[in-house]
Amino acid sequence: MKVIQDINDSKAVYLMELLKGLSYLKTKTISNEKALLIEEIKEAVENLALSRKGKLKLKTARELYNEL
């Protein structure tokens, strides 16, 4: 299982040291940009699932083009 946590900078160093001490747990820090990208991709996948169920109406390519 993978988990992403948003940790206050003042507590991050302590928490990372604590987590690194657990042999069964792998820790890795990522940039804010990468975290944002992951969240945006997750939201896009959720929107796709909703649209396939008919619970969300997406714009057509023509509608997007007309907005430009």
Tens-digit pLDDT profile for residues 8-20? 888 888 998 899 8
Q: Flag whether pLDDT at 40 surpasses 90.
A: yes
By percentage, how much of the chain surpasses pLDDT 70?
100
Closest CA to 16 of 30, 2, 33, 36: 30
How does 51-64 read in b/e, with b if 16+ C-beta sit within 10 Å? eeeeeeeeeeeeee
